[in-house]
Each structure stands twice: as C-alpha cells, then as structure tokens.
Amino acid sequence: MKDVASRAIGDLFRTPAVAGLAAGWLAFCLLVWLYGASPREMAGLLFEGTWGTSYGAGQVLFKATPLLFTGLAVDLALRAGLFNIGAEGQLAVASLAAGVVGSRLPHGTPAIVALPVTLAAAMGAGAAWAAVPALMKARFGAHEVISTIVMNRIADGLVGLLLASGLALAGSVRTADVVPGARVPRLEVALSAFRGSAVSFAIVAAVVATVAVMVAHERTRFGREIGLIGKNARAMEAEHVPVRRRLAQALVASGAVAGAASLGTVLGYKGYFEEGLGAGAGFGGIAVALLGRGSAAGLVLAALLFGTLQQGGLALNAHVPKELMDVLQGVVIVAVALTDVRLRRAVSAAPVASTKGAG
Amino acid sequence: MSALEVIVSGTMLAQTARMTIPYACAALGGVVSERSGVVNIALEGILLSSALAAVAVQGATESAAMGLLAGVLCGAAIGLVHAAVVVWGRIDAIVSGLAINLAAAGGTRVVLRALYGSSSNSPSVRGLEPFEHMGPLARTLLDPFLLLTLVSAALLSWSLRRTRFGLRLRACGEDPSAAQAVGVDVGWTRTLAVTIGGAVCGLGGTALAFELHQFQAGMTGGRGFIALAAVIVARWRPWPAVGACLAFAALDALQIVLQNQTKVPSQLFAILPFAATLVALALVSRRARGDARPPAGLGKHPDG
C-alpha cells in the first residue's frame, strides 16, 4: 500500500505543472530566505498584492494579457519546431505601429473602424518583423534562434530611432494619444470590482484568440500541417508539403500574434506607445509557452501564473527586489522542461542550429 | 581631429583590441561547447554573472587576481549547471540557456541590491592595470586579458585538433551514438567541454567589468548573442571565431567614434553591429550549404 501511495506522489511530481509549482515555491522560499526576509511573511504579502483583493486580481489579469498573446505566439511557432525568441522585438515594433497608426486616425473614427485598423497595423508590423528571420530561414537556412535574438536588438534601436526622428511628441519618447475609438475599454466599466486596475477587455480578446488558434491547429489544413512538420519534417517533405514555406509562414503568423499583445499595453492601458512599454513580455511569453504548451487552458493558466509572479514582485519590491521573480521564472522553466518529455523531444527533432535538413 | 584620423589612429586600434576580448572569450566558450554537441545560448548570462562575480570579489578582497579567479570560476559553475541540466536532465539546450539568461539578468540585479543597495551599478573597482605608466598601445598589447584570450584560443585550437580529449570532444559533437559505441563517455566529455567553455566565457565577463571598472546591470548588452553569431559565422572554429569577433568589435569601436564625431542619431549606430551580424549570418548560412556545416550531433543525445 505504501508503495502505491509513494509512486502516486512520485508521478504527481513528474507532471510538469506540479513540478514547476513545487520548484518555484522552493526557490521562492530559498531566495527570500537568502535575502534575509521571512518567506512566510513575503508569501503573505505576495498573496495580498495579487489574488487577495479584487484590485490585485485585476492587476494580475492586466499583467497576464500581453503574456498570453506572446505565449500563444511562441507556442504557435513551437508547434512547427521553431523557437521564436523574437516576440520581444516583434511586440516592440507592433506597439510602435499601434501607437502611430492609432493616433493618426481622424479623431471621430468609430471604434468599429479604428480598433480593427490599429490592430491590423500592429499585427502587420509584428508579422513584418518576423518575416526577416522567416525569409532567412527559408532562403538561407539561417537558424531562427540567432536571427530572432538579433532582430530583438535591432528593434530596440529602431524603435528609439523612429521615436527620436519624429514619431514621438516633441521632447518625449511617447507617441500622441490614440483616438478614443482605437482604445480597448477597461474591464472596470463592466465589473466595478476591478475599479482602479489597468485590466482591459484585451484579456477577453487574448483568451478568445488562444481558443481560436487552438481550434485552428486542429481544424485547418495549415494548422495540421505545421503541427506535423514539428513532429517530423522529413516525412512531410516526402508528402510534398512545402516545408520551408510552411515554416516561414508559421514564424510570420507567430509575429502577428505577438504584435496583438499591444492590445493589452498600448490600446488597453496607456492609450499611447512609449519606449519600453511592454518590454519583457516577449521573453515572458517563452516561459508561458513552455509551461502551458499546446493547450488553451495550459497557456491561460501559465499566463496567470507568470502574471501573478510579476504583480507579486511589485508587491514585494519594498522588501525584496522584484527581479527575484525573474530568477524564479528561470527555475520554473527548467523544472517544467525536466519533467516534460514532449518538450525534450519536440525541439531536438529539428536539429538545433542546423543549416540543412528541414529548415 | 577628423573622424577618419581617429579611425586609423593607434587609440582606435587599441580600443578595438580591448573590445574584442569579451566577444572573443564568449565565442571561444561557444565553440568548445557546441563542438561537443551542446548548444550554448547561455553565453550572455555567463558573461553577465561572471562580470558581477569578478567585481564583487575584487571589491571585497582588494585583489584583482582573486576577482579574475572568481569571474572564471563563476563562468565555469554556470557552464556546469547548463551541462548538468542538458546532458543529465536531457532538456533542450535552448530552453536551459534561456532560463540561465533570464535568471542571470534578474539574479545579478538581486545580488547588486543585496550587496550595494543599488539596482543599477556597483561602486567602482580598480580593475587590472599593471602597466599604467606605458602608452595606450603598449598597454593594450601587454594587456593580461588580451594575452589570456590569445592563449585560450591557441590552447583550444590545438587541443581540439591534436589531443585525445579534443578528438573525443569532436566525436561527441559529430555523432554521439557512435562516440558512445566506441567507448567515449559522451556525458562527461560534454560536461567538461561546457564547463571549460563557461570558464573561458567567464574570463570575458571579467575583462568587460574590469575595463569599465564597475558592474552595471545589463552591461553585456547582447555581446553573448553576437559572440554566438560569430561562432556560426566562423563555422565552429576557434581562430576564425576570434577573427569574426574582431570584426564585430571594430564595428563597435567605430560606432563610438562616429557617435562622438557626427550628428547622426546614436541609435542608428547602436543597430550597426547587430545589422552586420544579421547580414553575416545570412551570407554564411547560404555558403554553408556546401562544405561547412555545424557539428552533426549538435543538440542530439546518444541513443539508449
């Protein structure tokens, strides 16, 4: 009997979600203790600042919104066996596009026109930014990990450059306000419990988008093809599927989805773009995708977890540095990866840094 | 002085040589690690952590040598963690590298705040300047870090080609299953390779911190990633990797000169090294269709 019980417990800890949470919890206690604070006290503060109040919960949802979009984007590419490390840069360029286009529309533009146009501009910019590594992959076989990392850095410089050369308001690093029609309303309009919190209807859009993309993976030809390419690219090539083109398309689609994260930051929160807005969401999305891999519910829960960590970090910042949460994120990623067999398989199926083969 | 005069001057050459060091060390670390078959995008995090370790230990002990030792050991330790997680835990090396980079970016800030109560930079340290009375060019040529980098490159190049360990290391990178079949301990060979790579990379982080005489949060600014691109451009060979790093460093130095001399916005020049990296990647990947290719066993585990 004892054997059965201990094996059951062992199995439980071998599920990625449980292992991630357990390792995260242990690391939290250890790090807080090393820093000289009381883990119990800090955990209490963490809870109070996040799920303890309706305002805190709203803030968690607000932090989770861009993470869910970028997590979905990274997951989309990962299905095809591609590692999109570039969501960070794709989102930066997309956010700038949203701020610029949204503020240049005629003032009275109704929401039914303004919002789709602004969103399309953002997603288009994100897709265009992802198209560079995608083309390099398809044409030259350049590995997407390096090229997307490099594109992040270029995005950083380019956004600053464009803001400085006329896209920003004079003497600032922000664009003009987007027109009212392009703004995503705050959730507090409908639910007064979230009063004061920055969470907007973009979280609803993020969840809907996640479910829609998951359905598309199952139901559309493109979705099924990239999923199969991720499993066995060579077999798909033998089936005369244009593998290179599909991989490039998947990366571009991933960039577009990452760009949609600006719904939560530019359009749902600030109402304009400023340098650094949404920074970190792209890298956070990688963690979300790894943790919530492959299912809508998984991605949503992972986004909520990392949203909680981010908001919790702010709540603790007076006592322990909020960057502690980044360390925690790293620990959770490793713990999840160690227990997730799929993750070990999926990525090494496509030889890393290879310039040949399916790429 | 005109921009051109500055560019061809000795100061500029000295500047370039010194800026090459962190890139080159990271790239050499990448070469050893990847030739053994373990992808290493953790170079960025290793550079950053070892820079902090070197500054913190020098600050505490007042000894540059201890700082250097700490930087190298810190690099080796993170390399060991990366190897352990990838080789023994069998998780994807990119995932591990990402996690290490994330933890290093956050962790260095945490340590910074714990040690110095600041989240942006450490107090200044003296660094390693044994030839202060000499001219800039002589000082650069005799720079201990430059010499150490060159010695590392020579040693790595020689041992990869000529020693039994180098042969085994390359075998693990080319075909781990075959290497294992002939009795090479793939796991240990890779662990050792990645740890050594981490140590060399740590040397680069130390050089970076001592050059600026302090640690600044995020001070590596993507150098680890550029170094990784240099590894690919150099097709996983030590000396060409150092050469590629020299080119990237020259661009970096050029960027600083031009920023001071011209009215062109600084962000444009900040993009320059990365844009060059992208172009180099595209060109090399294209040529790689023919003879040159990455180690065939990169990212693969031995069967069974």
- Residues A33-91: tens digit of each pLDDT: 988 888 888 889 989 889 989 999 999 999 999 999 999 999 999 999 898 999 999 99
B246 in any annotated domain: yes
B10 in any annotated domain: yes
* Helix or strand holding residue A122 (H, E): helix A111-135
CA separation (Å) from A2 to A7, A8, A10, A201, B63?
A: 8, 10, 12, 50, 56
B298 in any annotated domain: no
User: Which domain covers residue A204, as residue numbers?
Assistant: 2-349
B130 in any annotated domain: yes
Answer whether A183's CB lies under 8 Å from A268's CB: yes
CA distance A133 to B89: 30
Rg of chain A over CA atoms, in angstroms?
21
Cα torsion angle, B296, B90, A17, A313, sign: negative
Number of separate helices (H) and strands (E) present in chain A: 16, 0
Answer whether A25's CB lies under 8 Å from A39's CB: no
B248, B279, B285: best to mutate for the A interface, most A CBs within 10 A: B285
User: Which domain covers residue B53, as residue numbers?
Assistant: 3-287
CA distance A223 to A208: 17
Number of domains in chain A: 1
Confidence check on the interface: ipTM exceeds 0.85, yes or no: no
Q: Is B279 on the interface with A (CB under 8 A)?
A: no
Taking the CA of residue B141 and the nearest CA in chain A, the distance in Å comes to 31
B217 in any annotated domain: yes
A286 in any annotated domain: yes
A354 in any annotated domain: no
CA distance A63 to A43: 19
Helix-strand-coil percent breakdown of chain A, rounded to 5? Answer: 75, 0, 25
CATH number at residue A321: 1.10.3470
A135-159 tens-digit pLDDT = 999 988 888 888 998 899 899 989 9
A357 in any annotated domain: no
Amino acid identity of residue B8, one-letter, is: V
CATH number at residue B271: 1.10.3470
Residues ≥6 apart with Cβ < 8 Å to B1: B9
CA distance A266 to A261: 9
pLDDT score for B290: 45
Which residue from B109, B267, B271 is facing A164, i.e. has the nearest CB? B267
* Helix or strand holding residue A179 (H, E): none
Number of domains in chain B: 1
**Residue of higher predicted confidence among A358 and A242:** A242
Q: Is B105 on the interface with A (CB under 8 A)?
A: yes
A274 in any annotated domain: yes
Answer whether A306's CB lies under 8 Å from A286's CB: no
Half-sphere exposure of A222 (CA within 13 A, CB side): 14
Tokens of B92: 């994807």
Taking the CA of residue A136 and the nearest CA in chain B, the distance in Å comes to 6
B301 in any annotated domain: no
Q: How confident is the model at residue A358 (pLDDT cuts 50, 70, 90)?
A: very low
Answer whether B217's CB lies under 8 Å from B60's CB: no
B119 in any annotated domain: yes
CA separation (Å) from A279 to A161, A315, B104, B118?
A: 17, 19, 17, 21
* Helix or strand holding residue A107 (H, E): none
B295 in any annotated domain: no
Interchain pair B110, A324: CB under 8 A: yes
Taking the CA of residue A6 and the nearest CA in chain B, the distance in Å comes to 22
A243 in any annotated domain: yes
Taking the CA of residue A93 and the nearest CA in chain B, the distance in Å comes to 14
CA distance A313 to A319: 10
Interchain pair A323, B119: CB under 8 A: yes
A359 in any annotated domain: no
Mean pLDDT of A188-198: 86
pLDDT score for A348: 43
Residue holding tokens 């080609």? B161
Mean pLDDT, chain A, integer: 87
* Contact list, A329 vs chain B (CB under 8 Å): 99, 102-103, 106
What global pTM score does this model have? 0.86
**Which phi and psi angles does A322 have, rounded to 5°?**
-65, -20
In the predicted model, residues of chain B with pLDDT beneath 70 are: 1-8, 129-137, 262-263, 287-293, 304
Tokens of A266: 């530019």
Q: Is B250 helix (H, G, I), strand (E, B) or coil?
A: helix
